[in-house]
Chain A
Amino acid sequence: MIDLRAMKASFKQQSIHFFVDPQWVIPSIIAPFIFTTVTLFLFRHAGGDLLLYAVLGGGVLGMWGNTIHSSSWSIGYDRMNGTLEAIMVTPAPLSSVVFGRCLWNSFLGLLNALAVFIVAEFAFGIDVTVQDPLGFVVAMMATLLSLSVLGMVFGAFYVVTRASSAFFQILEFPIYVLSGAVFPLMNLPDWSRPFSYVIPATWGAEALKISTVAGHDSMGLGYYGALGLTGLTTVAFLLISLWLFTYLEGRAKVNGTLVRY
């Protein structure tokens, strides 16, 4: 299970790493920021709620960009720096350590959301008014948590591979597309929608839009329905990630390939 103390310590240590060397967060926020800005240019004729749609979606992209970056690199850097063995022989479960790091980096993704809001407000003149501020904050936190958990699922695989940089690139863009963060899911082909439905960010983004855009409810679920599905998929991915960490950690130790680089 998750060791809250280890998670908290890992969260704190990751934040210290960030303040010591903040440049590492930049690469992971540039892509979603540019993607959202391009989207705003493409939506500029549409105006109104569509622009707000892009802004909210951009925030989700930012959180995901940071999460996948941290989950893929956290183990990768430990392997390169020779600290992976030390972490794995501590009593704290590796999953809790990675979860803490993912949470911090998803949290930093909020900076991206903030940057997008500022650009939207001042450069594009979009009125970013939230209809339900409390619902928005809850949905934002739920989305942040769900993305961290999804990052953990992928992070588990990096214990047994040294190609984390490749996986980072492979996994970043599909979530941008499949979550339907900046366009309705109905624009995606039928065959791809089941993939979208199992991604927590899809429901998190939907809850965010419902709480912000007046009259928006593209899936007919309502705010609590979307939030509930965010929670459900998050719990499912959390359980999967915990099982994966246990299994793959054991496999890495048996194979003796932990710090092979």
Chain B
Amino acid sequence: MLEDITGVKASALVAMRSQFAVVGPVLWLVQILSTALFQMWFFVLVSDFAGDPGATPAYVALGNAVSALTYSAVYGVTMSAGAEKHIGTMATIMGTPTRMFYVFLGKGAYQSIIGMFTVTVSLGFASLFFGVDLSGANLVALAAVLLATCFAMVGFGMVIGSVGVYLRSSMILGSIVLYLGLLLCGVNFPISYLPWWLQPASYVFPLTFGVQAVRDVAAGAGLAEVAPLLAIMLSIGAAFFLMAYALFNYFERLALKRGSLDMF
């Protein structure tokens, strides 16, 4: 148990150091801020031009601010397995006494911190530039909702990322989950706009519940009002982590058995 905790901590530290070894802190900050701002701005301009009363610029800006979590919490985690494979370090990781799940849990923990930072900055952008009114928001409820969303999304990312242990690359999966949320999760328009057969897919993504909860909090809801959504996110988050644990073990065994570890 202690060994696993040490593995998680070490993995989180390595994730942080390796990130800044390739992309310096200033460039990394520019990357995070410009991506969040320009993506939000793009959809705000589109919604302004479209003039749909059901998807106003402020509605779109708030949705995009929350979806900024996806870059780190889902994409970052999903890509980590594929990245290890790509740079040839997967075999080394699998040779350590720490199980792969804990190694990637550490990476997920680091991505959670980045994700929380990104979403906070994005909410600041939405409020400063795009008319999102957060003055009536209960900050404790907002923090709780964002933490629960991040937890569930990292779990989701680990499930997807576990497949990257076995696949040739996790890049396709990572890219799909990165952007699909913009379409399916009520980020840019209400889910009811989607065709009826596509709507159930929205509820597979934790982002759907997170976006709704943040909208409720921004509209003045307190912790009690968003408790059901929080409970859903924590439950599906826990389920995702359990699933990721099982999948990492399964794919770890399968990759070793078939010798597909470094297949690229």
Q: Inter-chain contact count A-B, CB under 8 Å?
A: 107
Contact with B along A159-177 (1 / 0, CB 8 A): 0001101100110011011
Contact A166 B27 (CB under 8 A): yes
- Contacting residues of chain A (27-50) with chain B, CB-CB under 8 angstroms: 27, 30-31, 34-35, 37-39, 41-46, 50
Contact status B42-A177, CB under 8 Å: yes
* A46 engages B34 (CB within 8 Å): no
Residues of chain B with a CB closer than 8 A to A43's CB: 46, 50
CB distance from B107 to the nearest CB of A (A): 17
Residues of A within 8 A of B225 (CB): none
Interface residue SS majority, chain B: helix
B1-41 interface bits toward A, Cβ cutoff 8 Å, 1 = contact, 0 = none: 00000000000000000000011100110110011001101
Q: Would you call B175 an interface residue if the criterion is a C-beta within 8 Å of the partner chain's C-beta atoms?
A: yes
Q: Which of A30, A54, A177 contacts B176 (CB 8 A)?
A: A30
Complex Cα spacing A24 to B31, Å: 22
| Contact present for B41 and A30 (CB under 8 Å) | no
The segment from A101-109, A137-145, A180-188, A229-237 found at the interface with B is A180-188
Q: B182 to A35, Cβ gap below 8 A?
A: yes
**Is B34's CB under 8 angstroms from A174's CB?**
yes
Contact (Cβ within 8 A) B23 A177: no
B34 touches A170 (CB 8 A): yes
A32 CB, nearest partner CB in chain B, Å: 9
Query: Is the Cβ of A27 less than 8 Å from the Cβ of B175?
Result: yes
Residues of B within 8 A of A (CB): 22-24, 27-28, 30-31, 34-35, 38-39, 41-43, 45-52, 55, 60, 86-87, 168-169, 171-172, 174-176, 178-180, 182-183, 188-189, 193-194
